[in-house]
Structure 1
Amino acid sequence: MPASMPLLLPGPRGMRPAARADELRELLRQALESLERAVSPSSPFDPAKASHTWRVAASDYSKSTILLPALAGLRLAAPGTRLAVLGIAPSRIARQAEQGEVDMAFHISDEAPASLHRRPLFTDQYVLVGRAGHPRLKRRPTLSQFCKLDHVIVLPDGGGLHGITDTALSELGLTRRVVLSILQPMDSPPRC
Structure 2
Amino acid sequence: MARDLNLLVTLDVLLEEGSVTRAGERLALSPSAMSRALARLRRATGDPLLVRSGRGLVPTPRAIELRDRVHRLVREAEEVLRPVGELDPATLDRTFTLRVGDGFVERFGPGLVAAVGLEAPGVRLRFLRRTTKDTGPLRAGGVDLETGVIDRPLTPDVLSEPLLTDRFIGVVRAGHPLATGEITVARYTSARHVHVARRGVEEGLVDEALHPTGRRRDIVTVVDGLGAALALARASDLVATVPELHAAPLCQDMYSFALPFPLPEVTVSSLWHARLDADPAHQWLRALVRGAVRA
Same fold per superposition (TM over 0.5): yes
Q: Corresponding residue for 1:47?
A: 89
AA of the residue aligned to 2:90: A
Shift of residue 177, structure 1, vs aligned partner: 2.1
Structure 1 residues 51, 181: CA separation in 2 closer, same or farther (over 3 Å shift)? Answer: same
Corresponding residue SS for 2:126: strand
Partner of 2:104: 62
Q: TM-score, normalised by structure 2?
A: 0.43
Helix, strand or coil: the match of 2:181? coil
1:138-157 Cα shifts (integer Å, max 9, x gaps): 223123432222111223x3
Residue 81 of structure 1: aligned partner: 123
User: Which residue in the other structure is 2:206 paired with?
Assistant: 165
The 3-state SS of whatever aligns with 1:127 is strand
Flag the structure with more relative contact order, 1 or 2, with Cα contacts below 8 A and sequence separation at least 6. 2
- Residue 97 of structure 1 aligns with which residue? 138
1:137–1:45 distance in 2 versus 1, CA, 3 Å:
same
Deviation string, structure 1 residues 39-92 (Cα, Å, up to 9, x no partner): 884213322222221110113410011222211111111111111111112232
Structure showing greater Rg:
2
Q: Determine the C-alpha separation between the residues in 2 that align with 1:173 and 1:118.
A: 37
Deviations 1:107-161, CA, capped at 9 Å, x for gaps: 134x465333222222223322223333344223123432222111223x31232
Q: Aligned ranges for residues 1-192 of structure 1 at < 5 Å?
A: 41-92=83-134, 94-109=135-150, 111=151, 114-115=154-155, 116-155=158-197, 157-170=198-211, 174-184=215-225
Change (3 A) 1:170 1:117: farther
User: Are the equivalent residues in 2 in contact too, given 1:90–1:112 (CA < 8 A)?
Assistant: no
SS in 1 for 2:182: coil
Cα distance, 1:50–1:153 mapped onto 2, change above 3 Å: same
- 1:6-37 Cα shifts (integer Å, max 9, x gaps): xxxxxxxxxxxxxxxxxxxxxxxxxxxxxxxx
Once residues 185 and 200 of structure 2 are traced to their aligned partners in structure 1, the CA distance between those partners, rounded to angstroms, is 25
- Structure (1 or 2) with the greater helix fraction: 2
SS at match of 2:173: coil
Q: 1:138 to 1:68 in 2, by over 3 A?
A: same
Question: What stretches of structure 1 of length at least 5 have no aligned partner?
Answer: 1-37, 186-192
On the 8 A contact 2:200/2:223 being kept in 1, the answer is yes
Q: 1:153 to 1:43 in 2, by over 3 A?
A: same
Count of aligned positions: 145
Give the SS at the match of 2:174: coil
1:141 partner letter: I
Aligned equivalents of 2:117 and 2:153: distance in 1? 30
